[in-house]
Amino acid sequence: MVIAVAATLKEILAKGKDYPWPRPSECPECKRKRLWGHGFVSAWFDECVGIIFLRRYRCPECGCVICLKPQDYFDRFHCTIEAIRTSLSHRIKTSRWLPGTSRSRQGHWLRALKRNAKAYLGEVFKEDLLNAFDQLLHMGKTPVTRSI
């Protein structure tokens, strides 16, 4: 389970494992109040040269492992939500890939967005993909995920 928290990569990178991560008040699965620290997990983000350490907690009751991450990122994505939207916007408006990010990565995002827009919003949003991105985000979905 991944929980987004208000944190900046710059602060996390500067403080490393000493960053004051907020402790979740309860387990998101079983709602028990007791959580144990479960160490750190290394993660890579596009804006950082090296790895950063994300805090983990474990519920002793149900065994759920909770990982905290900065809120500007989708789960399992290395690029910010805004950078993904900017890339897609550039491609849709100019029919060119945004320089600086790999073409294959941007292609994955675009294909996934088309697929998710069709699955969740129907054919109506096929022509207005940026609006579909925003709608899916508002629905709590990851617009560019390859799994539905």
Say what the pTM is: 0.81
Mean pLDDT across 119-141: 88
Mean pLDDT across 118-132: 85
Which pLDDT score is estimated for 148? Answer: 67
Every domain of the chain and the residues it spans: 2-70, 81-138
Mean pLDDT across 45-66: 90
Whether residue 114 is predicted with pLDDT greater than 90 in this model: the reply is: yes
Show the 3-state SS of the chain: CEEEECCCHHHHHHHHHHCCCCCCCCCCCCCCCCCEEEEEEEECCCCCCCCEEEEEEECCCCCCEEEEEECCECCCCCCEHHHHHHHHHHHHHHCCCCCCCCHHHHHHHHHHHHHHHHHHHCHHHHCCHHHHHHHHHHCCCCCCCCCC
**pLDDT confidence tier of residue 100, bands split at 50, 70 and 90:** confident
